[in-house]
Chain A
C-alpha cells in the first residue's frame, strides 16, 4: 500500500503546501516544531480539516471520510490510553466497538512484550510500557496505514531504546506505510526508509533515507552536526578478540561484539564528523576502520568546514573536513582517498544503538 498526500492550508502567518508520497516502509516527516508536521499527520487522520486535501491510500481517496472510517492506526506522542480500561480493554477496544473478536491479539501482545501488563490500568504503567500498549492498540484496529506522532519524544533514552526495536519490527514485518513524525535525527536515521523534510510549511527534500542522509545539500537541512550516512553491511565473523567483523563492500569494519550470526544484515550510521580523510593508506595509526573511497563532490558546509560526499563501492559516505585540509590535501571530485572511521552507530533489529568507537 502507498499513501499519497496533497494538501494546502492557510494558517495565520504561514501557508502549508505539501505533496508527499509514502511507500510501504517507514516515511519520516522531519522538521522543526512549527514546520507543519503535525498538521499533515492530523489531516491524514481526519482530526483536522485543511483548506484543500487529496489523500489517497492505494489510489482510494480517504480525505472525504470521517476519522473513524479511514482505517488508520494512530500512535500519539502522549499514548492517550483510556484510563478507565485495563491494558487488555485498551488493546481490544477497536474490536469491541466493531463487535468482533480481536485479530492477532496473542501475536501482537507477544510482539510488543506486553503479556504481563494485560490486567493493569494505564495509570500503573511506565511511559515506555504505555507507548508499547498504544502501538498495540493501534495495530489491533486492523489499520491500512499507521501514523506515529513523535511517539518517543516524551521518553528518556532507556525507554526509547526499549521501543525502537519494536517500531523497526513493524516497519519490516507489516508491509503497511508508516508515517512517522519526528524532529530527532538519530531516530530518523535509524528508522526511516523514506524521509520528507518539512520547513515552514513546505517540503524542502524528499527521498530514500540513505540518499538524503548522505547528500550534503540535504544534510544541512537535517542539521549539520548530525550529517552522516547510512551504510548497509553484513556481519562477516565474530573474532576471537571480542570484535565483530562487518563487511561493507568497500572493506571490513571491526566493531565491539554485536550479537548476530555471520550473514546477518546490519544498518550502520556514520556521522560526517566521525570520518577523517587521507590521500594515502595511513600506516602506524591506531584506528582499525579504514575504507577506500572515491570523492563524489565537495561543498562548503559553514565558514570553515566542507562536507565531502564519498562513494564507498556504491554506497554513500559523508566526511566533514576543514577547508584548510581540503585545500592542503588537494581533495577534488573523482580522487581516490581513504576514509578513517572513528565511530559507528548501530541501527539494527533488537539492538539498542550502542556507539562503537574503533
Chain B
C-alpha cells in the first residue's frame, strides 16, 4: 500500500506521524501530572491551572501559534536562552510542529485522563495504604492500572488532534516541505495551486486511512485493557 505513494507523499505522511507521535508521547507525563493535580489536589491556583490547560481549546489556533512563536522563537523569552545555552530551537523545525501539536492537543488529553482519575474510588487507594503501600506505590499499583483506559483514550485523542493540527503549526513553524509540512498543511498548499486538487485528494484519502487505523487500534487496546481491569 505504501508503494503506491510518491516519495513526497511518504515524506509528508512520515513527518505527520513523527510529529504527532512525539507530541503525544512527550506531553503524556505532563498531561498525567496536570490531570492528577486537577483531579486530586486542592491548592491555590487550581482554577488558574485549569484555565491555562484549557486555553489552547478556547483561543484561536493562530493566536496560540503566534504566542508560541513569541515564546519559543529564536528571540523568544524561552527560545533565546534555549538557543544560546543548548543550541536547541523549535522555530521552523519539525520539533516546533510537535510542540505546537502537543500544546493544542493538551486540553483533550488532560480532560480524558482527569475523568478517569476522578472515576477511581479513593477508598481503594486508602485500602492500599492500609496494606502498607506508600503514596507513590499506591499510584503505581492501584491508580495507574485503573486509569489506563483513560490514558489510552487521552493519548489517542491527542494523537488525532495532533494529526489534524493546522493553525498553530502554520503560524509557529510555517509550511516548509520536508521540515514542517504535515498532512493538513500539505493539503492546504495543494489547494492553493491550480490543478492541485488531485494531489490534495490523495492526501485526504491518506488522512482518512490513518485516522481509521488509529481509531481501530485504540478500540482494540482499550477493549483489552478494560477486560483486564473490569474485575471479571
Contact = CB atoms under 8 A, between A and B. Distances in A.
Interface of A: 45-47, 66-70, 72-74, 76, 78, 80-84, 93-94, 96-98, 121-124, 137-138, 141, 147
A93 B128 contact: yes
B123 interface: yes
B10 interface: no
B232 A80 contact: no
Nearest to A89: B141
A73 B127 CA distance: 9
A67 B135 CA distance: 10
Most buried by B among A47, A74, A82: A82
Interface of B: 121, 123-124, 126-134, 137, 141-142, 145-146, 228-232
A68 B124 contact: no
B229 A83 contact: yes
B149 to A, nearest CB: 11
A66 B131 CA distance: 12
A252 B161 CA distance: 82
Contacts of B137: 68, 97
Contacts of A122: 231
Given A67-B126, A83-B146, A94 B131 contact: yes
Most buried by B among A70, A74, A80, A123: A80
Contact of B131 (A84, A124, A137): A137
Contact of B232 (A46, A72, A124, A147): A124
18 contacts: A46-B129, A47-B129, A73-B131, A78-B123, A80-B123, A80-B127, A81-B231, A82-B127, A83-B124, A83-B231, A84-B145, A93-B133, A94-B132, A97-B132, A97-B133, A123-B232, A124-B232, A137-B131
B129 A67 contact: yes
A165 to B, nearest CB: 24
Most buried by A among B131, B133, B230, B231: B131
A122 B231 CA distance: 5
A47 B231 contact: no
Given A67-B129, A68-B129, A123 B123 contact: no
B141 A93 contact: yes
Given A97-B137, A122-B231, A84 B146 contact: yes
Contacts of B142: 82, 84
Given A83-B231, A84-B231, A122-B231, A76 B127 contact: yes
A82 B124 contact: yes
A124 to B, nearest CB: 5
Nearest to B228: A84
A69 B146 CA distance: 24
A76 B142 CA distance: 17
A72 B129 CA distance: 10
Given A47-B129, A68-B129, A68-B133, A84 B232 contact: no
Most buried by A among B121, B132, B137, B231: B132
